Amino acid sequence: MAAGLHDRLRGTLIGLAVGDALGAAVEFSPPGTFAPVTGYRGGGPHGLGPGEWTDDTSMALALADSIALVGWDLNDQARRYLDWFENGRYSVNGRCFDIGIQTRQALVRFERSGDALLSGKVGAESRSSGNGSLMRLAPVPIAFAHLYPENVELLAERAEQSSLPSHGSGQCVSACRYLAVVLAALAHGEDREEVLSPSWPMLERLGPLHPAVAAVVRGSYREKEPPAIKGSGYVAESLEAALWAFHAAQDFREAVLRAVNLGNDSDTTGAVCGQLAGACWGESGIPAEWREGLARQDLLEAALAGLLR
């Protein structure tokens, strides 16, 4: 594997964890109610230490483990999420201290049914379109980067399937399809402006996207500023916020700090933006103090070893 591609694929997962950890201390805090985040800090709703991360990274580690150990098996992915939920596996501190409502409900359904294809399906689309599958996506474009660009359709399909155990709505699967292909393109060194362009030729191969996601892909984030840009728990708004933070930034640091300082669902906005920024600028573009201050690097290194072998 070329050194640049390897650096950017590693950056995709490490960037996720860094963004998550930077946002963790101000999660649930409205913008303007906290001192601007400039680096790791302790505290927050979960009482974490500086550099410790939340459910975004835990679920990404579970997904990475599943792909590395058994290949592609949605039921295995869901079982590993359940192991995290019930036993604290893949957690930074050995317990599940943070889980989205929709994810929790889906895992309870999976425990009853054993069918991950259906566990993420619920009623109204608007109530089932959280960002819990987008936040953990990085292992998919890392493991299947070789599918880009020749078999981008299969890459998008894998991303869509990865959402189903917890988030089966059209918005969620569309957002995952889009982000996976963008991350793979960035990791392969494609130009950021071209990849984010509404006329990017690869979009035609993605097929129709949910209207809420399609509006973001067309560039809604270029025309807005906070408070219209929100650190929201809804997937389309979360994707929009991450792209807003990423598209105009000059480097990884600027991108991720723009994301987490939106507040509210700051850890997930940071995690999604961190995936984008990490895929663009690579592990080498992540500030050294953030890489070195990240908790449980052993878990991240084990995940990357499995995905990149």
User: Does some domain include residue 45?
Assistant: no
User: Does some domain include residue 42?
Assistant: no
Would you place residue 220 in the very low, low, confident or very high pLDDT band (cuts 50, 70, 90)?
A: very high
User: Does some domain include residue 46?
Assistant: no
User: Does some domain include residue 293?
Assistant: yes
User: Does some domain include residue 148?
Assistant: yes
The tally of domains found in the chain comes to: 1
CATH of the domain at 297: 1.10.4080.10
Query: Domain residues for 230?
Result: 3-35+53-307
Interval 284-306 mean pLDDT: 99
Residue 8 has pLDDT above 70, yes or no: yes
Closest CA to 16 of 216, 247, 272: 272
Interval 229-239 mean pLDDT: 98
Q: What is the pLDDT of residue 125?
A: 60
Q: Which residues pair with 48 in a beta bridge?
A: 43
Buried/exposed 6-43: b ≥16 CB within 10 Å, e otherwise: bbbbbbbbbbbbbbbbbbbbbbebebeeeeebeebbee
**Average pLDDT across the chain, whole number:** 97
User: Does some domain include residue 44?
Assistant: no
CB neighbours of residue 207 within 10 Å: 11
| Predicted confidence (pLDDT) per residue in 115-146, tens digit | 999 999 886 565 679 999 999 999 999 999 99
**Three-class secondary structure of residue 190 per DSSP:** coil
**Strand ranges inside the chain, DSSP E:** none
| Predicted structure pTM score | 0.98
| Predicted confidence (pLDDT) per residue in 12-63, tens digit | 999 999 999 999 999 999 999 999 999 999 999 999 999 999 999 999 999 9
